[in-house]
Amino acid sequence: MPTDKSVRLSADIPQLLSEEVERVARTENTTPDALVEEALEKMLRQRRLQRHYAYGEERAQTAGLTETDLPRLIDEIRRNDTGPGR
């Protein structure tokens, strides 16, 4: 995913990893830079999702909710939903 402005980032990685990045980039007809950018974006997105999940778990625990409460809560929300199309 190209961005309007790029910056150079330098990182030391093991030689075997570098060789694999080069090999995969050739196989996928892309550049090592693009491959590493995609990997970093996926890793950062996954970490954001993990933080959100942990936040949700913490809030549920604080409220005393468990997984068994979910069907009831979903039903309540659906019954009270008066948004567009409802």
CA–CA distance, 29 with 80 (Å, rounded to integer): 52
Residue 41 lies in a domain: yes
Residue 30 lies in a domain: yes
Residue 10 lies in a domain: no
Per-residue confidence (pLDDT) for residue 81, from 0 to 100: 81
Residue 61 lies in a domain: yes
Residue 48 lies in a domain: yes
Per-residue confidence (pLDDT) for residue 4, from 0 to 100: 72
Residue 8 lies in a domain: no
Residue 85 lies in a domain: no
Q: What is the pLDDT of residues 11-69, one digit of tens each?
A: 999 999 999 999 999 999 999 999 999 999 999 999 999 999 999 999 999 999 999 99
CA–CA distance, 47 with 62 (Å, rounded to integer): 22
Residue listed under structure tokens 């990685």? 13
CA distances from 55 to 50, 61, 65, 85 (A): 9, 10, 13, 30
Per-residue confidence (pLDDT) for residue 30, from 0 to 100: 98
Residue 35 lies in a domain: yes
The structural domain count of the chain equals: 1
CA–CA distance, 48 with 86 (Å, rounded to integer): 32
Confidence class for position 2, pLDDT limits 50, 70, 90: low
CA–CA distance, 51 with 53 (Å, rounded to integer): 5
Statement: the pTM of the whole predicted model exceeds 0.75: no
pLDDT above 60 (res 1): no
